[in-house]
Amino acid sequence: MGHIHETLTERRARRMRHKLKTNNPGALRLSVYRSNLHFSVQIIDDTKGMTLASASTMEKKLVNGLKSTRGTEAAELVGKTLAERALKAGVKDVYFDRGHYRYTGRLKILADAARAAGLKF
């Protein structure tokens, strides 16, 4: 049974994580958070409870010169930056945890940019 006071978005996120964890045991997780103004992504090792690489539009030096921190240009930059930092940390294979967000628009652009920069998922 589900949790008593769980919203639909929390339920969708829990369902996604359960499917991903059972299909990819021990793999590293690329987790995405999207607010109205910013993107934040990180690669997490759940066995150790550590973040291995991260990127966000809240980093001033990363988004310097962009028109907006919430557009497709920012999403592409964050995906590319995360992939570069992950490869530098020795991470190449991850699984994509989109949480309760749908895989369209800016989220898809972020994922495609990370793949193009060298991450495999």
Q: Using one digit for the tens of pLDDT, what is the confidence trace for 62-117?
A: 989 899 999 999 999 999 999 999 999 999 999 999 988 999 999 999 999 999 99
Measured between alpha carbons, how far is 48 from 66 in angstroms, rounded to an integer?
Answer: 35
Q: How confident is the model at residue 2 (pLDDT cuts 50, 70, 90)?
A: low
Domains by residue range for the chain, with CATH: 8-116 (3.30.420.100)
Task: Reply yes or no on whether the pLDDT at 59 is more than 80.
Answer: yes
- Strand-pairing partners, residue 45, are 50
CA distances from 92 to 29, 31, 43, 114, 118 (A): 11, 15, 10, 11, 7
Amino acid at 17: R
